[in-house]
Amino acid sequence: MQKFGFSIEKKLGGGTLGRAGVIHTPHGDIATPAFIVVGTKATVKALTPEQVKDLGAQAVLANTYHLYLQPGDELVRDAGGLGKFMHWDGPTFTDSGGFQVFSLGAAFGKGVSKVATMATPDTRSDLENKDLRSDLVSTLDTDDARSEHARPAKVDEDGVTFKSHIDGSSHRLTPERSLQIQHSIGADILFAFDECTSPLDPHAKQKASLDRTHRWAKRSLDEHRKLSSSGTRSDLVQREQALFGVIQGGKFRDLREDSARTIGGMDFDGFGIGGSFTKEDIGTAVAWVNAILPEEKPRHLLGIGEPVDLFLGVENGVDTFDCVAPTRMGRNGGLYTKDGRVAITNAKFVNDHAPVEKDCRCYTCKNFTRAYLAHLFRADEMLAATLASIHNLYFIVRLVRCIRESIIAENFSQFKDGFLKRYYG
């Protein structure tokens, strides 16, 4: 079984931190930069694993918090691990549950996401569609967050106490417990347990949270080593698992750089860069971090996936991304095109018999029209979510693949400028 590793194939140059590389995992390689498709509960919503693979996805990311609550991490372990459970034979990630702590704690009921979204040409047009508006302020990874059982989480030095959004039962999550759950789930790449703060939090609160995240990182790493060498885990779950440390610090440069030095100095296999900054700061905040982190290890930008963010992230040294936006937006009738996002439920598409995008090679565009998708959404047919999600994921996955190809071909700047000019008008 192949061990975890990372190799750099081509550097972007021009004073940037970008690179094209390959992440090696026991379940296959990931050519980077890459977009990692989110399958929160061991499923990419509305899609089969075959459909996910056919649209070009290399890996999927599942959520520790949700799989722990339902169906339970031990059940996933006994099924042979995440990949076998969901019939996905490629690389897998699990996040730590830290963002759910934020969503149920600091952000509960406030409509605050981990990234403070400013109005852009991309988002302004969608704000006119009430069905897409909630996508911009959502704080949890799934629609289940709106359950009547959801209650604020309580964070202390040891961990977090929270109530299940499913049945209101009480639970406790610590760095050690998060790693135990992730080891049971059996993904190839795991994340250390962290505390995600609001982008609106002041410096002093960010600093206190960051110090706790650093302490939790050490505890996560210790527990990961213990579990990896204990020999007590089920043979059904593969043992070669990598652990990424998580960088936090909000929008403050001194905190971001402190976190990069602290987490970068620990023996993690790679790094996740947490949110809690404004969209306008993504490029700079990511650059502050990646200028310090060890170059030979991969970096993942957590929960970011808008086109401009992908370019900014890659340019500043990010190797992989994940985000629920493509599928969530698709389920609500929002579709990516090279000319920007469109709301397929708008009246102008009712009699439009062209594909969503004429030069798109996704299954949806090759076989169906805008009029058909508009009909499905207006009729509340389940197929609407499937076809829209296939198109959106294909669009984003292919965009990041093209970014990778532009780095290798040494025409990244031209590709970036041309795409963004057309997309954002």
| Sequence ranges of the binding site | 95-99, 194, 248, 275, 360, 362, 365, 391
Which ranges constitute the DSSP H helices of 109-153? 121-127, 130-133
Question: Could you tell me if 323 and 61 are in contact, meaning their C-beta atoms sit under 8 angstroms apart?
Answer: no
What are the distances in angstroms from CA 58 to CA 221, 311, 392? 26, 19, 15
Residues annotated within the binding site for substrate are: 95-99, 194, 248, 275
Phi, psi of 34 (to 5 degrees): -145, 150
Catalytic status, residue 95 = yes
The whole-angstrom separation of Cα 341 and Cα 125 is 8
The whole-angstrom separation of Cα 165 and Cα 66 is 9
SS3 label, residue 262:
helix
The whole-angstrom separation of Cα 85 and Cα 234 is 15
b/e for 94-115, b at 16 or more Cβ within 10 A? bbbbbbbbbbbbbbbeeebbbb
Catalytic status, residue 267 = no
Which two structure tokens, joined as six digits, stand for 46?
A: 């509305």
Q: Residue written as tokens 């006119």?
A: 128
Cβ within 8 Å of residue 121, ≥6 positions away: 340, 424, 425
Determine which helix (DSSP H) or strand (DSSP E) holds 244, and give its type and residue range: strand 242-247
CA-closest candidate to residue 109, choices 136, 145, 133: 145
Active-site residue, from 54, 73, 95, 156: 95
The whole-angstrom separation of Cα 1 and Cα 242 is 14
How many residues does the structure list for the chain? 425
CA-CA-CA-CA torsion for 397, 246, 66, 80, nearest 10 degrees?
80
Q: Is the dihedral of CA 305, 307, 309, 313 positive or negative?
A: positive
Cβ within 8 Å of residue 198, ≥6 positions away: 102, 106, 107, 110, 112, 114, 276
CA-closest candidate to residue 192, choices 161, 213, 208, 171: 213
Q: Residue written as tokens 């190797």?
A: 319
Active-site residue, from 141, 188, 309, 322: 322
Residues annotated within the binding site for Zn(2+) are: 360, 362, 365, 391
Active site residues per annotation: 95, 322
